[in-house]
Amino acid sequence: MSTPFQHTPAGPVIFGAGVAATVGDKTLLKKHERVLVMTDAVVRRAGLIDGVLASLGERATIVDDAAVPDGDCQHVEALAARAKDAGITAIVAVGGGSVIDSAKGVAAVLATGKPLHELEGVARVRTRTMPLVAIPTTAGTGSEATQFAVIKDRGVTDGVPTPIKRILVDTNLIPTLAVLDPTLLVGLPATVSCATAVDVVTHAIEALGSRMRNPIGSAMATEAVRLMLRDGALARALRTPGDLDARADCLMASHLAGQAVNTSMLGACHALAHVVGAVAGIPHGVANGLFLVDVMRINGAKVGDIYGRLASAIGVVGASDDVSALIGAVDAFVHDTAGIPRRLRDVAPGLTEEALPGLARAAALDPDLPTNPVRLDEAALLSILQARW
């Protein structure tokens, strides 16, 4: 490995069953008298913030459960204004990627005084944000380990909805502390466990093959794949939803894959998943599952040695060769274990085949495409979409 790289580490991690309920006592939060707790209505109804609130006591100055899937810029900016008025000095986010990304948005708006559209892009926050404690309740995005926030702007121009996902990339967005508590995942519906686990494996595989790959990210990504594919973390969690070891393995795989992406970035599968997800409204992990195997087959021509090394590292041995064995194992994980359908038309009934060229055009502009190991143009992306249709 002689290619220069810069590794951006995530923040400290606290792991353990029940640890979320002690967060208010941690040194980081102890001195903060006015804390904003962010979540969504589903997480709150499930009682997953009860322990956090009990440990913070009266210091939980604002409890906001209005985060929505994909986030909402208007919500984030309004909440930042409220937090400023209330003298908030720290944020605790309890939820999936949308909640944690929204919390990153609130922290960024508070630190800069700027609206999100002015913070979109790479290194636009540039200001130290207030302490942010991220407590994931799903094992998918790994947002608690990353410098990324994706927040949907549901703006209206001249009476016409003009939704757009605003992508913020800035090391100041990396949460100050990640709290990984497997008990919070016990009640996850199977469909959510499956889709998010596929996202985890996609993060790891794309980070391993990325043009920005480096040995630190690759080590984390390899362990994430091992937990999911060889140790069967998802299968065990599906079989016994209350199995805390299985949930912990899913959570750890998600966190490790998040750290891997933080330093190595992604590739073509995410580029395709972003556009299909935005147009057809299908879950992000399902969209990734549709394309992961096809993208691996294409990328295998360039990074076959990396796939082969991964296969032997995690103990996947094939009758013919290790690359085919790995792709076969990923295929079985995505479509058999996680049950992701194989056809785009089966998961996106509102979509027509005529829309595919437009999707390929959009995917060619996606910020995750340039780090794919094989250069894919619009025509190549269209071929993948048509093959999966």
Q: Which stretch binds Fe ion (CB under 5 A): 26-34, 48-56, 191-199, 346-354?
A: 191-199
Residue 144 Cβ, how far from Fe ion at the closest point, in Å? 14
- Of the candidates 40, 199, 249, 366, which one interacts with Fe ion according to CB under 5 A? 199
Residue 142 Cβ, how far from Fe ion at the closest point, in Å? 8
Q: Which is nearer to Fe ion, 82 or 335 (CB)?
A: 335
Question: What are the Cα distances from residue 230, in Å, to 14, 190, 226, 227, 313?
Answer: 25, 20, 5, 6, 10
Residue 273 Cβ, how far from Fe ion at the closest point, in Å? 7
Q: In 3D, which of 42, 86, 36, 92 has the Cα closest to residue 67? A: 42
Q: Which is nearer to Fe ion, 55 or 263 (CB)?
A: 263
Q: Which is nearer to Fe ion, 287 or 311 (CB)?
A: 287
Q: Which is nearer to Fe ion, 183 or 259 (CB)?
A: 259
Spacing of C-alpha 320 from chain mean position: 34
Question: Please, which of residues 313-342 interact with Fe ion by CB under 5 A?
Answer: none
Residue 65 Cβ, how far from Fe ion at the closest point, in Å? 24
Residue 39 Cβ, how far from Fe ion at the closest point, in Å? 21
> What is the DSSP pairing of strand 35-38 with strand 60-64?
parallel
Q: Which stretch binds Fe ion (CB under 5 A): 6-14, 186-194, 199-207, 224-232?
A: 199-207
Query: Which residue type occupies 3?
Result: T
Residue nearest to Fe ion (CB): 199
For tokens 């990353």, what's the residue? 146
Q: Which is nearer to Fe ion, 109 or 198 (CB)?
A: 198
CB contact at 8 A, 286 and 340: yes
Number of residues that bind Fe ion (CB under 5 A): 1
Please classify residue 348 by burial: count the beta carbons closer than 10 Å to its beta carbon, then call 0-12 exposed, 13-18 middle and 19+ buried: buried
Residue 19 Cβ, how far from Fe ion at the closest point, in Å? 25
Q: Which stretch binds Fe ion (CB under 5 A): 196-204, 213-221, 326-334, 346-354?
A: 196-204
Question: What are the Cα distances from residue 158, in Å, to 78, 155, 162?
Answer: 22, 10, 9
**Residue 181 binds Fe ion, judged by CB under 5 A:** no
Q: Tokens in use for 375?
A: 């250069």
The 220-259 contact track toward Fe ion, x by CB under 5 A, reads ----------------------------------------
Query: Which residue type occupies 370?
Result: P
Question: Helices (DSSP H) in the chain: which residue ranges?
Answer: 27-30, 41-45, 50-56, 73-85, 97-112, 190-209, 215-225, 233-239, 244-264, 268-280, 284-313, 322-331, 344-347, 356-364, 378-388
Residue 163 Cβ, how far from Fe ion at the closest point, in Å? 19
Q: Which stretch binds Fe ion (CB under 5 A): 31-39, 198-206, 316-324, 363-371?
A: 198-206
- The residues that touch Fe ion, with contacts defined as CB under 5 A, are 199
